[in-house]
Amino acid sequence: MRKIATAALTGSGILVLSSACTTPPESASPESCAFTWSGIEGRDVLTAVSEARTLAKGEKWVPTMKVLRSGVAQVTGVKLDNPQQAITSLGKRVGRSLAPIGQAYPSRGRHGENSFGAPGRYVVHQVAPHLVDADFVVECDGKRLGSGHATSWQHGDAGGTAECGTKAGDQSRIARMAIELAC
């Protein structure tokens, strides 16, 4: 409980004091908040690509990755006591487990050694799978708190290799992009 005291000087020079007790507003409990989602956009995003390299069958290679795009799982706009609650709600809405607040992409886990079963010119790429951007309105305890924006992606990362010079139809959209950039 907080006491608030006020003072005023009246026109006749009399000082009037008053006090009142107030209770700070309670935070909405996480269970009582509801999110309404709109403008949901989901896509795989090429985040890093290596240079192309010609390799012999079975040759091992640790590529150096060039980051093309990076980001962090975040909630902007309305201030929430628990912003992770928005990411969890969005994950339920899109039917995927999404990366938690603060996690960044691309991760450093995909930069290991690669080995190829056939000779050729290859490129290695990394992907933020199912990157999701969405707008939301949040209500807690029946009161509209405001609106915001959330960004996350399917928890974990993905990547792959692509062979330069292969027909575009034989590769995924992300692999084709990596080939176009690196080969």
Least confident stretch, 1-5, 95-99, 144-148 = 1-5
What lies within 8 Å, CB to CB, of 139 at 6+ separation is: 33, 34, 36, 145
Q: What is the mean pLDDT of the chain?
A: 81
Within 10-119, strands assigned E span 15-22, 33-50, 53-55, 60-61, 65-67, 71-72, 74-77, 104-105, 114-115
Asked, for residue 57, whether it belongs to a domain, the answer is yes
What pTM, to 2 d.p., does this model score? 0.72
Asked, for residue 16, whether it belongs to a domain, the answer is no
Query: Which residue range(s) make up the domain with 84?
Result: 28-182
Predicted confidence at residue 22, as pLDDT, reads: 33
Domain count, the chain: 1
Q: Are 96 and 87 in contact (CB under 8 A)?
A: no
Asked, for residue 6, whether it belongs to a domain, the answer is no
What average pLDDT does range 67-77 have in this prediction?
A: 94
What average pLDDT does range 141-166 have in this prediction?
A: 90
From the centroid of its chain, how far is CA 109? 18
Predicted confidence at residue 31, as pLDDT, reads: 56
Determine the Cα–Cα distance for residues 33 and 43; give it in Å rounded to an integer.
27
Q: Which residue has the higher pLDDT, 19 or 141?
A: 141
Q: How confident is the model at residue 107 (pLDDT cuts 50, 70, 90)?
A: confident
Q: Which residues pair with 154 in a beta bridge?
A: 98
- CA distances (Å), 23 to each of 2, 7, 73, in order? 6, 20, 35
Predicted confidence at residue 157, as pLDDT, reads: 72
Asked, for residue 163, whether it belongs to a domain, the answer is yes
